[in-house]
Amino acid sequence: MGKIKPFIPVKLIFGIISGFQGLIEEIEEPLVRRYGPIDYRSPFIPFTFTDYYTPQMGENLLRRFISFQQLIEPDLLPEIKAHSNHLEEEYALRSSRSKRPINLDPGYLTVTSLILASTKNFAHRIPLQKGIYAELEYIFKKREAQSLPWTYPDYRIEEYQKIFLEVRRIYSAQIKK
């Protein structure tokens, strides 16, 4: 019988999508209040991989990834996804610009994987609690981020993979201390 051990703390990340660069920068404030200082910000990346969000969010969307200095317990992911959905709803109620002015995709990174939270069920998603699922997006092997058959098209590009390898490098240094 295996011995139950506590989880190793993980690196909280958010993917943020919006047609308004200022809104992406603004949303960092409530996230920092809740999750602590940001230790990585990607550049803004045009989000041109799908038109899935266009009806609600409009065109000329940008994406930015951020990660947080404070590590979290992985079992907090459902609570974090619920909080991010609440923030999205708040911003939608206040917006006169679009039905959904911002999209927040939380997840976490370990030395070996990138996990994203989702409210949508699918065969490759693992139910966690309260209607939240975990999706394995990458497996990290040596110095590469390995995509999986269900990995989102944008996560397959080298630019994203380099971002997450950098966040992994930051995380690896943190857990070695």
Q: Domain coordinates of the chain in residue numbers?
A: 11-176
In 8-142 the beta strands, taken as DSSP E runs, fall at 11-18, 38-41, 45-46, 62-68, 103-109, 113-118, 126-129, 132-141
* Rounded mean pLDDT, 125-153: 95
Question: CATH number of the domain at 11-176, please?
Answer: 3.30.70
Res. 53 pLDDT band, cuts 50 70 90: confident
Distances (CA, A) of 35 to 15, 58, 142: 15, 29, 29
Res. 55 pLDDT band, cuts 50 70 90: confident
Alpha helices by DSSP H, the chain: 21-35, 54-57, 77-94, 158-176
Q: What is the mean pLDDT of the chain?
A: 94
CA separation for the pair 16, 45 (Å, rounded): 10
Its pTM stands at 0.94
